[in-house]
């Protein structure tokens, strides 16, 4: 006997959301996942974070002077797009350099789901797009880039690229000038954040979107000719390239004057991941995380639905590139650039491209298994993120942290900053030391900025890691040590005894110890004070300094402004009729 | 299409991965003498001692541990700081059962690139080719007490507040006692000797600046590791300063800059040089061969040999150097060999060998 008032339906199940997740909820979840990790300053031990803080530290003190004498005996900061560094520099006056870095990284991480939501809406319905956006917070590849690689500019450029793509789509389909403006300005900001992402990532992302807009043309009422759409796409490309050339003009001038001619430098992401399992774990398994389980779905769903095929091909090519030396495709497609690029970013882009598919899969899982499905997805997502963060913790890139304070104090004491120094065995701690030391170094952490022939002649990266580059590394170190007198190189901080024999035979003497002997200072007493090294036209003229200080940051401010401009209001909306069917009819008992 | 496409994409990915991954196993038995040497060296390059030893012939009479010590080093000698970077091989002679293969090796080491040539005998064993890799066993020195009574100079500073570089004493008096500019293969080279004329030890180096005919500086270089930096009183060291790609015609004058600084020093360890003689190596090039004997009680980890060659007039005509990849255990002779310019071999009237050293637990 049924009680009065009991619904006809069986007991209602606790269901998982069958509507899209609001964007602010997604942002809150993202903040909850990454906020504490950034508050703990986890990225400060990553590979590149200290390098970016070094660049930012220079802008904080010399906004309009891109010539930095602290690395390589002198280098131009116009060799690296400045946007992210300049934002860190601005916030460093509030939060300090490290705090500024974390704050900008947080903003970038929050921009990613917004961009993903907008990007995924091109491919999938709103609900699925919201799942895709939520997925960005848990991406293993994102966690690896942020907490292990410290590639803030790459993540920033990817977030901006994702945000620009819907405007590119809209412009190619509808010819909306406002979309063109927004798309171009956001792309400019993206290129000002990271040029490589712009050059390679934008193409990998944009071509499938262009293909999609051509496919959608056939199904829409308002038909533009495909020729017109292609012309618009080319126009977009030309305007973006022209704008980027203006925004990064000093970068291109520097590249033209000093083309990157250095020999290839080894990187684990170019390994064959099967033959080098550790590289495979680090650069593919961990970044992909639970997304590996979705690969069959991506292949079959992308093949089955014509509209998703461009995304499938884009994802497929990007994934193959992300496999580094595991396939020959990177070498074939990229040629000489293959040896210059690193491939963890391609895997990151591949995971971003996979997310719209994952949104579809998530919706299907939730529809089928409701709460259990949602829990399963949540566990898989959390697993991806947690594995990446724990991998970074349990496989630290540094075997131990160095107490840099006494060395910084030494270099800033008395007249020691009149001489130059290098470090050996310091790993990425070198960048941190150089950020706070007044003295200049002959070493540096950004290969493309090197001008000294002793360093560009050999296929080795940083001097502090010379031994890892075999003969090339040690010969580069020998070449620099041979010219110690010319360059005023007087101090060498040694944290790896491997380098002692060379220093001993080359005329250096240990003079001080730090950290109970863990680090030794070696000196060469007859070295004269460092003189300014004449790099000729590599030093940017003042107009470039002004341009570098105003235009890239201006592009980002302009991007914020134009995004706030309202889109063209639709005065008439087409309503679907009849109303779409819902899975559950609202049944009520008659009173 | 819907079902075919994913299958095609999977097959394509698998084929691409296979293309980059599948190579012939490097541990298969060698079918040629050169293959055996290459396989062995590939394993050495991969720092796989067990894998490399599989290609060592039993006729070598070399135990696995001895082989490992020989290839990968021991007692912090130079080989422990080295890894095989490159090699090339060439068959010199081959018949059904035996062959001779020359291997040119380039090691990346803590002191830079070290190049070595080995002529390896390869024999057929159990239907495959294997390499004879003899390892010279080190004589066992009986337990003994070695009294250390060499001179030692310490320096007393004013206190901890003294900045380490500020010396308020005169630098030791040093003098360049001979110098000879030569040109070779497009490089300009300054050779000579420097003497510590003082009664205290000095830490010396020699720098040189080339002035061009227009009065401008052409190049600046220094002796780097081609000198003994620590000179005891009255001790003489050769030096050599190389100026790559500088023609003698461009040079108007040379400004020499000997530098010296008072440092604490010890005459210990003393290393004797024995049985030195000019010879030809396997390739027919002139070499100076000999043996080093550590007469002290502590192992010298990395010896560095400097040889000065004189003509009949007593003029320095060449300075060459070489690192020895074996450590010097007390009272145990170790062979060395350093290259000599073939074109000068006939002019060499006499030579003098000095030995630098790096001892891991005692850096001067």
- pLDDT of residue A245 exceeding 60, the answer is yes
E-strand ranges in B201-332 read: 202-212, 217-222, 230-231, 236-243, 251-262, 265-266, 271-280, 286-294, 302-310, 316-323
- pLDDT of residue A153 exceeding 70, the answer is yes
* pLDDT score of A196: 80
* pLDDT score of A225: 84
DSSP for residue A565: S
Q: Select from B275, B284, B320, B277 the least CA-distant residue to B117.
A: B284
* pLDDT score of A567: 67
**Range with top average pLDDT, A446-460, B23-37, B126-140, B243-257:** B243-257
Q: Select from A479, A449, A474, A452 the least CA-distant residue to A464.
A: A474
Give the mean pLDDT of A323-346: 88
Give the mean pLDDT of A307-312: 95
- pLDDT of residue A15 exceeding 60, the answer is no
Tell me the pTM: 0.86
Report CA A315 to chain centroid distance, whole Å: 18
**Residue of A316, A327, A475 lying closest to B20 (CB–CB):** A327
What would the two tokens of residue A289 be?
Answer: 């995380």
Specify whether the CB–CB gap between A388 and A287 falls below 8 A.
yes
Contact map slice: B 102-141 vs A, CB within 8 A: 106, 108-113
* pLDDT score of A262: 57
In this predicted complex, what is the ipTM?
A: 0.89
Q: Find, in chain B, the residue whose alpha carbon is nearest to that of A475.
A: B112
Place of tokens 């001892």: B359
**Please, what's the largest Cα pairwise distance for chain B?**
92
Mutate to test the interface with A, among B7, B9, B106 (most CBs of A within 10 A): B9
Q: Select from A106, A84, A87, A137 the least CA-distant residue to A40.
A: A106
Which residues make beta-bridge pairs with B362? B359
- pLDDT of residue B255 exceeding 80, the answer is yes
The span from the CA of B347 to the CA of B160, in Å, is 54
The span from the CA of B266 to the CA of B240, in Å, is 24
The span from the CA of A185 to the CA of A173, in Å, is 19
Q: Find, in chain B, the residue whose alpha carbon is nearest to that of A273.
A: B21
Backbone angles phi, psi at A322, to 5 degrees: -65, -20
- pLDDT of residue B91 exceeding 90, the answer is yes
* pLDDT score of B362: 62
Higher pLDDT, residue B153 or A56? A56
- pLDDT of residue B32 exceeding 70, the answer is yes
In Å, how far are A151, A164, A225 from A217, measured between CA atoms? Answer: 37, 20, 8
Whether A303 and B302 lie within 8 Å, measured CB to CB: no
Mutate to test the interface with A, among B225, B228, B328, B356 (most CBs of A within 10 A): B225
Q: What is the DSSP string of A296-343?
A: HHHHHHHHH-GGGHHHHHHHHHHHHHHTBTTSSHHHHHHGGGGGT--S
- Residue A272: its chain B contacts at CB < 8 A? 20-21
- Rounded to 10 degrees, the C-alpha dihedral A231/A233/A238/A242 comes to 150
Q: What percent of chain A has pLDDT over 90?
A: 69
**Residue of B2, B85, B223 lying closest to A470 (CB–CB):** B85
Q: Shortest Cα distance from A558 to chain B (angstroms)?
A: 42
Average pLDDT, rounded, for chain A:
88
Specify whether the CB–CB gap between A441 and A452 falls below 8 A.
no
- Residue A409: pLDDT band by 50, 70, 90 thresholds? very high
Whether B110 and A502 lie within 8 Å, measured CB to CB: yes
Whether B110 and A507 lie within 8 Å, measured CB to CB: no
In this structure, of A65-69, A93-97, B158-162, B293-297, the range with the lowest mean pLDDT score is B158-162
Give the mean pLDDT of A457-461: 77
E-strand ranges in B32-173 read: 83-94, 98-109, 112-125, 128-132, 152-153
Q: Select from A489, A194, A368 the least CA-distant residue to A479.
A: A489
Taking 3-state DSSP, the helix, strand and coil percentages for chain A, each rounded to the nearest 5, stand at 65, 5, 30
Average pLDDT, rounded, for chain B:
89
- Residue A328: its chain B contacts at CB < 8 A? 16, 19-20
Q: Select from A137, A138, A144, A149 the least CA-distant residue to A108.
A: A137
Q: Is B220 exposed, middle or buried (0-12, 13-18, 19+ CB in 10 A)?
A: middle
Contact map slice: B 287-306 vs A, CB within 8 A: 301-302, 304
Place of tokens 């305007």: A239
Q: If you compute the radius of gyration of chain A from its CA atoms, what whole number of angstroms results?
A: 27
Structural domains of chain B, ranges and CATH numbers in brackets = 25-132 (3.10.450.100), 152-265 (2.60.40.3230), 268-358 (2.60.40.10)
Specify whether the CB–CB gap between B190 and B241 falls below 8 A.
yes
What would the two tokens of residue A589 be?
Answer: 């008992």
- Residue A320: its chain B contacts at CB < 8 A? 13, 16
* pLDDT score of A448: 81
- pLDDT of residue A378 exceeding 70, the answer is yes
Domain boundaries, chain A: 24-397+545-564, 405-533
Give the mean pLDDT of A47-62: 95
Whether B16 and A497 lie within 8 Å, measured CB to CB: no
**pLDDT tens-digit series, residues A261-297:** 655 667 888 989 998 899 999 999 999 999 999 999 9
The span from the CA of B299 to the CA of A540, in Å, is 54
Q: Find, in chain B, the residue whose alpha carbon is nearest to that of A300.
A: B6
């Amino acid at each position: 006997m049924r009680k009065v008032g009991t619904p006809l339906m069986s007991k209602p199940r606790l269901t998982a959301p069958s509507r899209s997740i609001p964007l602010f909820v997604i942002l809150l979840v993202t903040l909850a996942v990454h906020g504490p990790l950034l508050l703990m300053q986890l990225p400060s031990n990553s590979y590149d974070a200290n390098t970016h803080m070094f660049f930012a530290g220079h802008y904080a003190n010399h906004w309009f002077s891109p010539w930095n004498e602290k690395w390589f005996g002198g280098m131009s900061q116009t060799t690296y797009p400045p946007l992210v560094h300049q934002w860190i520099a601005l916030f460093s006056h509030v939060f300090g350099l490290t705090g500024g870095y974390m704050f900008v990284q947080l903003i970038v991480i929050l921009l990613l789901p917004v961009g993903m939501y907008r990007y995924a809406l091109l491919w999938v319905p709103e609900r699925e797009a919201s799942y895709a956006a939520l997925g960005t917070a848990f991406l293993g590849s994102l966690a690896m880039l942020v907490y292990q690689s410290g590639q803030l500019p790459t993540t920033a450029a990817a977030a901006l690229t994702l945000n620009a793509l819907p405007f590119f789509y809209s412009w190619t389909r509808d010819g909306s000038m406002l979309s063109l403006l927004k798309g171009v300005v956001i792309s400019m900001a993206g290129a000002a954040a990271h040029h490589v992402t712009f050059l390679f990532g934008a193409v990998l992302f944009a071509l499938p979107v262009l293909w999609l807009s051509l496919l959608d043309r056939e199904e829409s009422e308002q038909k533009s000719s495909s020729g017109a759409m292609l012309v618009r796409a080319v126009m977009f490309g030309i305007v973006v390239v022209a704008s980027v050339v203006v925004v990064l003009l000093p970068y291109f001038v520097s590249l033209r004057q000093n083309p990157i001619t250095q020999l290839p430098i080894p990187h684990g992401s170019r390994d064959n991941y099967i033959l080098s399992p550790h590289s495979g774990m680090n650069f593919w398994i961990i970044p992909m995380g639970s997304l590996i389980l979705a690969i069959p779905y991506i292949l079959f769903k992308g093949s089955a639905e014509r509209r998703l095929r461009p995304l499938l091909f884009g994802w497929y090519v990007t994934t193959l590139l992300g496999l580094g030396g595991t396939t020959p495709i990177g070498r074939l497609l990229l040629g000489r650039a293959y040896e210059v690029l690193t491939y963890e970013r391609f895997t990151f882009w591949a995971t971003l491209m996979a997310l719209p598919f994952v949104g579809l899969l998530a919706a299907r899982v939730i529809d089928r298994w409701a709460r259990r499905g949602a829990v399963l997805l949540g566990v898989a997502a959390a697993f991806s993120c947690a594995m990446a963060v724990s991998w970074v913790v349990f496989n630290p890139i540094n075997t131990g942290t160095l107490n840099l304070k006494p060395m910084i104090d030494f270099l800033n004491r008395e007249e020691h900053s009149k001489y130059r120094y290098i470090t050996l065995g310091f790993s990425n701690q070198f960048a941190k030391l150089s950020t706070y030391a007044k003295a200049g170094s002959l070493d540096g952490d950004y290969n493309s900025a090197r001008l000294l022939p002793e360093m560009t002649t050999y296929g080795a990266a940083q001097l502090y890691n010379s031994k890892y580059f075999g003969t090339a590394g040690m010969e580069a170190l020998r070449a620099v040590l041979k010219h110690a007198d010319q360059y005023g190189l007087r101090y060498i901080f040694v944290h790896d005894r491997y380098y002692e024999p060379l220093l001993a035979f080359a005329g250096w003497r240990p003079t001080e110890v730090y950290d109970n002997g863990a680090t030794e200072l070696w000196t060469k007493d007859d070295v004269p004070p460092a003189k300014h090294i004449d790099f000729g036209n590599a030093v940017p003229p003042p107009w470039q300094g002004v341009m570098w200080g105003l235009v890239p940051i201006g592009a980002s401010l302009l991007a914020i402004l134009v995004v706030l401009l309202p889109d063209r209001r639709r005065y008439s909306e087409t309503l679907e009729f009849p109303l779409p069917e819902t899975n559950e009819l609202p049944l009520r008992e008659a009173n | 299409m819907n079902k075919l496409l994913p299958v095609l994409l999977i097959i394509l990915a698998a084929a691409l991965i296979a293309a980059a991954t599948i190579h012939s196993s490097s541990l298969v038995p060698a079918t040629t003498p050169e293959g055996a040497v290459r396989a062995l060296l590939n394993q050495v390059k991969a720092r796989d001692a067990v894998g490399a030893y599989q290609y060592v012939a039993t006729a070598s009479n070399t135990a696995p541990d001895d082989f490992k010590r020989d290839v990968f080093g021991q007692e912090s000698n130079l080989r422990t700081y080295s890894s095989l970077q490159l090699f090339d091989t060439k068959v010199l002679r081959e018949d059904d059962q035996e062959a001779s293969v020359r291997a040119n090796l380039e090691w990346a080491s803590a002191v830079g690139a070290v190049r070595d040539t080995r002529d390896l005998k390869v024999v057929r064993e159990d239907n495959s080719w294997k390499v004879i890799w003899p390892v010279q066993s080190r004589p066992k020195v009986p337990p003994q007490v070695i009294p250390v009574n060499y001179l030692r100079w310490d320096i007393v500073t004013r206190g901890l507040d003294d900045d380490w570089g500020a010396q308020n004493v005169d630098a030791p008096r040093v003098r360049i006692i001979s110098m000879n500019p030569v040109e070779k293969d497009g490089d300009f080279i300054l050779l000579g000797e420097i003497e510590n004329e003082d009664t205290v030890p000095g830490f010396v180096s020699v720098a040189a600046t080339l002035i061009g005919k227009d009065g401008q500086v052409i190049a600046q270089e220094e002796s780097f590791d081609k000198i003994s930096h620590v000179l005891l009183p009255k001790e003489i060291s050769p030096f050599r300063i190389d100026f790559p790609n500088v023609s003698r015609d461009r040079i108007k004058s040379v400004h020499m800059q000997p530098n010296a600084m008072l440092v604490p020093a010890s005459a210990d360890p003393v290393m004797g040089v024995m049985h030195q003689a000019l010879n030809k190596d396997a390739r027919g090039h002139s070499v100076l061969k000999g043996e080093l004997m550590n007469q002290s009680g502590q192992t010298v980890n990395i010896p560095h040999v400097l040889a000065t060659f004189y003509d009949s007039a007593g003029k320095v005509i060449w300075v060459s150097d070489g690192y020895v990849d074996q450590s010097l255990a007390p009272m145990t002779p170790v062979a060395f060999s350093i290259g000599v310019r073939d074109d000068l071999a006939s002019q060499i009237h006499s030579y003098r060998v000095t030995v630098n050293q790096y001892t891991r637990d005692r850096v001067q």
